[in-house]
Structure 1
Amino acid sequence: MGQISEFLDREFRHFNAAALVDAARAYRAHLAAGGKMLLALGGAMSTAELGISLAEMIRQDKVHAISCTGANLEEDLFNLVAHDSYVRVPHYRELSAADEEALYRRHLNRVTDTCIPEEEAMRRIEAAVLEEWVRADQRGERLFPHEFLWNVLRSGRLEPSFQIDPKDSWLLAAMEKEIFLIVPGWEDSTLGNMYAGHCLRGKIRDPRTVRSGIEYMMQLANFYQRTTARHSLGFFQIGGGIAGDFPICVVPMLHQDMQVENVPYWGYFCQISDSTTSYGSYSGAAPNEKITWGKLASSTPKFVIESDATIVAPLIFAYVLGR
């Protein structure tokens, strides 16, 4: 264990700090026992540059599957090719509506304290991926959203535009390791909106060229059964929303809807969230509520860390990596 891990063991002893260390220790124990881990990536973690630590987690086989939002999928790629044109706004809490409008006129799309440049990031990636969409459409091929981006990366056409160290891109690491990746609700993303627009304009004849969320769930069901036949599969969730809600449902789907017998529960569960536990909130639901839905067992190690994932996740990853 390195200096960061030793610091956490020594200093993080109570409340959310203790929950962080408990979750990190249990993560390590889960892997040491031969378990695998699925990461559910919500929020704007790619724009927060989580790839700096997440890519290494992928390379060192500490993360074996990822469920992410369409935004996190594309924003890691945006950051890879346009990092130098991002604009940081540290005083974002003081912005007026007029200030926000001025950013809009500059084609700067704000995510908390960071603005993504439309032309340098979004339009550059749109041009590259549109070629892949059109080519697949003309050939009658159908691919998942992440497969189109992996094709763009494998082609090498973007390499001259890289503005960060490629080892800090989690999408590149996932492609190189060919880990299992799903992107539920991809339509709710910048590229998803662009894709719909190109379909409406007739550049893409068949909207089914990009495979659907239902097909992702079918892929996940097969992956879950293959993996849990030999390994316990854990669930590490950053944020709330569809990135977590979608994959965790695979267990009750297999057991309750498909009547598959002896489906293992998730073997570990941790959620980093600042969502207040509340009535009727999926993102704020306590882990025990998931027991009633057939997602977790009463014996599943369960952790909730109510804090900022941009602080907590890199610390847990550092602990798991032994840094």
Structure 2
Amino acid sequence: MSKARGPISQFIEKNYLHFNAAALVDAAKGYEAHLDAGGKMMITLAGAMSTAELGISLAEMIRQDKVAIISCTGANLEEDIMNLVAHSHYKRVPNYRDLSPQDEWELLENHYNRVTDTCIPEEEAFRRLQQHIHKIWEDAEEAGERYFPHEYMYKMLNSGVLQQYYEIDPKNSWMLAAAEKNLPMVVPGWEDSTMGNIFASYVIKGQLKASTMKSGVEYMAYLADWYVKNSDGKGVGFFQIGGGIAGDFPICVVPMLYQDMEMENIPFWSYFCQISDSTTSYGSYSGAVPNEKITWGKLGIDTPKYIIESDATIVAPLVFAWVLEQ
């Protein structure tokens, strides 16, 4: 029996018939079929998807259990929360292509950090989080406890200390939805983020120990344990938004378990889709076609594979709308 579809899905099905539009529909239908067969899905977030306010659609995906685990960059981890607490202070620069070096310098002098057409306000976003997260890091260290980067963020969100600052509807924050569910997460290369840099500065100043933050190696071990426990039956799919470490890090867990842990029955990822504007080029992994992953023991010959070469800020909400039957 076909599902009752909302207007967005009806529009997609009627109009998106060829090329990347058709790939979007195929991938969305594949995502839905994977879940309907009892499979689980990992979503990986690279680029500035949180600043692009992907939370408007991703938070609902989390609430409706359409995603079982997330891998994201440290920037995406924090930038969704920054948008939650400082939205009115963001500055949009539609003519960003016309900015001169002097214009860019003036944005810096005014404490704005630009991501394409959107400027993040340093004082209201970074510093507002810093004072609260620093206390949580300190309290953990004093208690002799260690946590992952995302666990500290969950503690901060679930404590309610940020509610006084909320500037968007909380239902549009994917991190808030994830914290409420205690959604499994890996944040590879977290040090490459504003909060990661701030934490490193406290370590350099001797105010915090590096060991108070669990490491990337521990994230890989955590992911390995999660994958073993969740890959039976239909298995785990891999929905990759952008390229980079958010995707490269978690996809390797399968060959690691098979080759290095000698778990010969570990299943491949059972669905693969990448939304990327990275074209296939010289040695680029972000731009590699999915079949290359077969040679690395990540995907099987029969794994459903999709690649949508387009802007993820346009494509991902449409795929999510299909999966949510909107």
Q: Could you say which TM-score interval applies, normalised by the shorter chain?
A: over 0.9
Give the match for residue 132 of structure 1. Answer: 136
Whether 2:17 is the aligned partner of 1:6: answer no
From 245, 249, 254, the equivalent of 1:246 is 249
Q: 218, 226, 229: which is aligned to 2:229?
A: 226
Moved more, 135-144 or 95-104: 135-144
Q: What does residue 274 of structure 2 align with?
A: 271
What's the secondary structure of 1:235's corresponding residue? strand
Q: Is residue 313 of structure 1 aligned with residue 307 of structure 2?
A: no
Matches within 5 A, 1:141-290: 141-204=145-208, 206-290=209-293
Report how far residue 279 of structure 1 moved: 2.4
Question: How far apart, CA to CA, are the structure 1 residues paired with 2:130 and 2:228?
Answer: 35
Partner of 1:143, secondary structure, is: coil
Alpha-carbon separation, structure 1, partners of 2:187 and 2:306:
24
2:84 corresponds to = 80
Contact 2:146 2:212 in 1 (8 A): yes
Paired AA for residue 191 in structure 1: M
Q: Output the CA distance in 2 between the equivalents of 1:113 and 1:169.
A: 20
| Counterpart-to-counterpart distance in 2, 1:182 and 1:83 | 26
Q: Paired residue for 1:58?
A: 62
Q: How does 1:11-26 map to 2 (within 5 A)?
A: 11-26=15-30
Q: Is the 8 A contact 2:234 2:270 kept in 1?
A: no
| 1:72 partner letter | N
Identity %, equivalent residues:
65
Q: Runs of 5+ in structure 1 lacking a partner?
A: none
In 1: Cα distance, 2:95 partner to 2:9 partner: 32
Amino acid at match of 1:63: V
Partner SS state of residue 296, structure 2: coil
Query: Matched residues in 1 for 2:22 and 2:156: separation?
Result: 42
| RMSD over aligned Cα atoms | 0.7
Tell me the CA shift for residue 136 of structure 1.
1.1
Mapped to 1, the partners of 2:51 and 2:130 lie a distance apart of 18
- Equivalent-residue separation in structure 2 for 1:188 and 1:7 (angstroms): 39
Q: Deviations over 1:169-227 (max 9, x none)?
A: 000101111211110000000000000101111221x2110000000000000100100
Instruction: Report the AA paired with residue 303 of structure 1.
Output: Y
What is the aligned partner in structure 1 of residue 32 from structure 2?
28
Alignment match, 2:94: 90
Shift of 1:230: 4.0
**TM-score, normalised relative to structure 1:** 0.99
Distance (Å, rounded) in 2 between the aligned partners of 1:314 and 1:274: 16
Could you tell me which runs of 5 or more consecutive residues in structure 2 were left unpaired when the two chains were aligned: none
Question: 2:31 & 2:38 partners in 1: Cα distance?
Answer: 11
| Cα displacement (A) at 1:139 | 1.6
**Aligned residue among 124, 127, 130 for 1:123:** 127
* TM superposition shift of 1:167: 0.4
Choose the corresponding residue for 1:104, options 103, 108, 115: 108
Provide the residue aligned with 2:325 in structure 1: 322
> Distance in 1 between the 2:158 and 2:324 partners?
28
Task: Report the 3-state secondary structure (helix = DSSP H, G, I; strand = E; otherwise coil) of the residue aligned with 1:292.
Answer: helix
Shift of 1:101: 0.4
Moved beyond 2 Å, runs of 4+: none
- Asked if 1:40 is matched to 2:34, the reply is no
* Normalised TM-score (structure 2): 0.98
